[in-house]
């Protein structure tokens, strides 16, 4: 596994046979954390932008198990990356303290999200200026 804190694409092995395909992901093996929560997002149309928050604690892996979407990740220091999620055997790893927008959902998109933490509304930062402020505070500690 790479640097734990790096935003990156993950490739999962596909287990296929004549009956069809299967992808298996296991916590601490294919996913760089123990999985405590899963949720999935579907029925969002192409105009919708979801996410628009950062998490102080949670890490995530996002997998479009059907259809496609994009995720834009911002580090609060001026850097951004866009990932296209369009294959069920790839995902994107998002560490804590990154801002994320999910958008461009296809009508058949099912976006599976694996999370390292149980849901806690208080660890979400939903204001971008507040996110930047907290990032800069962390950087200044170095």
* Contacts with ligand TYD, residue ranges (CB under 6 A): 37, 39, 41, 50-51, 119
Active-site residue, 118 included? no
User: Which of 4, 53, 89, 118 is the catalytic position?
Assistant: 53
Tell me which long-range contacts 119-128 makes (C-beta under 8 A, separation of at least 24): 119/37, 120/57, 123/55, 123/56, 123/57, 123/58, 124/53, 124/54, 124/55, 124/56, 125/53, 125/54, 125/55, 125/56, 126/52, 126/53, 128/52, 128/99
Minimum Å gap between C-beta 52 and ligand TYD is 6
Minimum Å gap between C-beta 91 and ligand TYD is 16
Minimum Å gap between C-beta 100 and ligand TYD is 8
Residue with smaller CB distance to ligand TYD, 12 or 105:
105
Catalytic residues: 53
């Amino acid at each position: 596994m790479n640097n734990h804190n790096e935003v990156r694409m993950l490739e999962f092995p596909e287990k296929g046979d004549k009956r069809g395909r299967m992808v298996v992901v296991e916590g601490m093996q294919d996913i760089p954390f123990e999985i405590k929560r899963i949720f999935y997002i579907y029925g969002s149309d192409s105009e919708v932008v979801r996410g628009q928050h950062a998490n102080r604690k949670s890490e995530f892996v996002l997998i479009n198990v059907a259809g496609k979407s994009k995720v834009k990740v911002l580090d609060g220091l001026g850097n951004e990356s866009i990932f296209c999620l369009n294959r069920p055997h790839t995902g994107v790893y998002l560490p804590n303290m990154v801002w994320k927008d999910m958008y461009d959902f296809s009508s058949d998109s099912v976006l599976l999200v694996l999370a390292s933490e149980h849901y806690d509304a208080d660890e979400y930062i939903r204001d971008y200026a507040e996110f930047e402020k907290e990032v800069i505070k962390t950087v200044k500690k170095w």
